[in-house]
C-alpha cells in the first residue's frame, strides 16, 4: 500500500483510465454524454458521503482489479481501526472509489454475463476457472449469515471480503460515470457490438450493484472527499 499526494493520485488515476483505450471515430460518439452535470446524478447522496461525521474517514482509489485484493485491504482497515485501535464501527467510514477496470465491479451479474466482462478484462471465476459470467467479487457466499462472531474466524463477517459484506459494514462503493462512458466505447469495439454506446451506458446504470453510487468523475470526486470531507487517501 502506498500513501500518495493529491497530485500523484490524479496522475495515476488518469493514466489508468487512458490505458483502457482511446475513443474511435465512431459517429455514435456525437450523442455521448461524456460529462455529467449536477442535475444528471445523485449529487445529494454523494454530499452525504463527503460530510459523513465519522471520526476516521478513508478513501481507497482503485483502478486495477488485481483479483479483488483491494477488498482484503479494506477489510483489514475496518478490522484494524475497530478491533486494534478501538474506534467504534460507527465512527469509521470507508469509501471505495472504483474507476479504470475496477469500475466494472460496480455492475451486477446481468451486465457481466451479457457483455462478457470476465473475458474482456481477463477475470476468472474462482468457481469455474473460466472467464467470469458473473461479478465474482460482489456476493457473500454466506448470504451474510455467519457461524462465528470471532473477528479472527474465517467464518465471521469480519473476514468476509465480498463487496456485499463490506457494504453491510458501511463501506460506500462509487462508480465513475466518465469511466463507464469510455469503457463502453472500448467494449463496443472489443465485442463488435452494434448497439448505440449510450444505450449500453443507460443499461449499465440500471444494473449497478445495490447501493453503489455513480459519480460524475472519480478523480474529481476523490478531490472533494479529501478537501471537503477530510478523507485520508490510499491506493493499493
Above 70 in pLDDT, residue 27?
no
Q: What is the pLDDT of residues 128-186, one digit of tens each?
A: 999 999 999 999 988 999 999 999 999 999 999 999 999 999 999 999 999 999 999 99
**Rounded to two decimals, what is the model's pTM?**
0.85
The fold of 56-143+151-235 is Hypothetical Protein Ychn; Chain: A, (3.40.1260)
In this prediction, residue 32 has a pLDDT band, given cuts at 50, 70 and 90, of low
Determine the number of helices (DSSP H) and then strands (DSSP E) in the chain. Answer: 9, 5
Domains of the chain, by residue range, sit at 56-143+151-235
Strands lying side by side in the sheet with 172-176: 213-215, 172-176, 92-98, 56-62, 232-235
In this prediction, residue 26 has a pLDDT band, given cuts at 50, 70 and 90, of very low
Q: Does residue 214 sit in helix, strand or coil? A: strand
Closest CA to 41 of 213, 172, 219, 223: 213
**232-235 and 213-215: which strand pairing?**
unpaired
Amino acid at each position: 500500500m502506498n500513501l500518495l499526494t493529491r497530485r500523484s493520485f490524479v496522475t495515476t488515476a488518469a493514466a489508468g483510465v487512458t490505458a483502457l483505450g482511446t475513443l474511435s471515430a465512431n459517429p455514435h460518439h456525437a450523442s455521448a454524454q461524456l460529462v455529467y452535470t449536477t442535475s444528471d446524478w445523485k449529487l445529494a447522496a454523494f454530499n452525504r458521503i463527503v460530510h459523513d461525521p465519522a471520526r476516521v474517514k478513508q478513501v481507497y482509489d482503485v483502478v486495477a482489479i488485481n483479483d479483488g485484493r483491494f477488498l482484503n485491504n479494506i477489510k483489514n482497515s475496518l478490522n484494524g481501526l475497530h478491533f486494534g485501535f478501538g474506534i467504534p464501527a460507527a465512527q469509521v467510514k470507508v469509501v471505495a472509489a472504483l474507476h479504470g477496470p475496477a469500475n466494472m465491479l460496480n455492475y451486477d451479474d446481468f451486465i457481466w454475463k451479457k457483455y462478457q466482462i470476465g473475458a474482456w478484462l481477463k477475470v476468472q471465476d474462482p468457481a469455474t476457472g473460466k472467464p467470469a459470467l458473473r461479478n465474482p467479487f460482489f456476493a457473500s457466499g454466506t448470504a451474510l449469515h455467519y457461524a462465528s462472531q470471532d473477528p479472527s474466524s474465517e467464518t465471521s463477517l469480519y473476514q468476509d471480503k465480498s463487496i456485499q459484506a463490506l457494504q453491510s459494514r458501511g463501506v460506500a462503493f462509487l462508480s465513475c460515470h466518465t469511466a463507464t462512458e469510455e469503457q463502453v466505447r472500448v467494449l463496443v469495439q472489443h465485442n463488435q457490438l452494434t448497439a448505440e454506446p449510450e444505450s449500453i451506458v443507460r443499461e449499465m446504470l440500471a444494473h449497478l450493484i445495490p447501493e453503489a453510487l455513480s459519480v460524475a468523475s472519480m478523480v474529481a470526486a476523490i478531490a472533494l472527499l479529501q478537501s471537503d470531507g477530510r478523507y485520508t487517501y490510499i491506493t493499493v
